[in-house]
Amino acid sequence: MKEKMEVATFAGGCFWCMVKPFDEQPGILQVRSGYTGGWVENPVYEEVKTGTTGHLEAVQIVYDPAIYSYSMLLELYWRQVDPTDDGGQFFDRGDQYRTAVFYHSEEQREEALHSRQKLDEEGPFKQPVVTRILPAGKFYEAEEKHQKFHSKYPDAYRAERVNSGREDFINKNWKGVRHADR
């Protein structure tokens, strides 16, 4: 008997840096880069990066909640982003690079809201957490060259994480906490 798989969608800036942390976890069956939250149908990367489509770069995750729960996904997600930055993520600026949790059920919505509130109250940040919690809409998969970027272009992936400031931010704010993306 096959267990029920679930879907989670997170926007965390450049999707190249958001796949690997989830991709290597037990119970994660698929992580796809794509676009969501906007009004343009069938967007492509060249359109989304201009910030004129309303879409955010995002990852969509298919997972087995019996092995890796939604709360575990949220915990890993928060450790990949600067949830206090409403202008983008690290050196990627613009609405298309903002953070958001897109919920697929009322249970996910409640868990995401609770998780964000807990992070805001107990987390390492002096600024308020501004990550949006939004209903999931249509998810458009990005072009194949953007899928599993960390595997196809490992040197470029590492350079993106370091040069963008993401790696330093994670190390500064989550030191002492095991990072699943290493």
* Dihedral angle, C-alpha 10, 8, 24, 19, nearest 10 °: -30
Paired tokens of 27: 């119970």
Q: How many domains does the chain have?
A: 1
Degrees to nearest 5, angle at CA 122 with 113 and 119: 30
DSSP 3: P
Instruction: Give a yes or no: residue 160 inside a domain.
Output: yes
- Whole-number Å distance between alpha carbons of 54 and 70: 26
- Is the pLDDT at 42 greater than 60? The verdict is yes
Does residue 53 sit within a domain?
yes
CATH code of the domain containing 101: 3.30.1060.10
Residue ranges of alpha helices (H) inside 43-153 are 45-48, 70-78, 106-122, 149-152
Q: Is residue 1 part of a domain?
A: no
Q: How far apart are the first and last CA of the chain?
A: 33
Per-residue pLDDT tens over the stretch 89-102: 999 999 999 999 99
Q: Is the pLDDT of residue 33 over 80?
A: yes
As beta bridge partners, residue 18 has none
93 in a structural domain: yes
- The Cα 50–Cα 108 span in angstroms is 30
In-domain check, residue 137: yes
pLDDT for 43 beyond 70 = yes
Tokens found for residue 134: 């939004």
Is 14 among the catalytic positions? yes
pLDDT at 149: 86
Average pLDDT, the chain: 92
Please report whether residue 180 resides in a domain: no
Within-domain flag for 179: no
Tell whether 182 is covered by a domain: no
Assess whether pLDDT exceeds 50 at residue 3: yes
Q: Report helix angle 166-174 to 154-163, nearest 10.
A: 60
Q: Band of the pLDDT at 176, cuts 50, 70, 90?
A: low
Catalytic residue among 8, 14, 31, 61: 14
Residue 18 sits in which domain range?
Answer: 6-174
Q: Which of 10, 20, 9 is nearest to 167 (CA)?
A: 20
Kindly report whether the global pTM for this prediction surpasses the value 0.75: yes
E strand or H helix at 168: helix 166-174
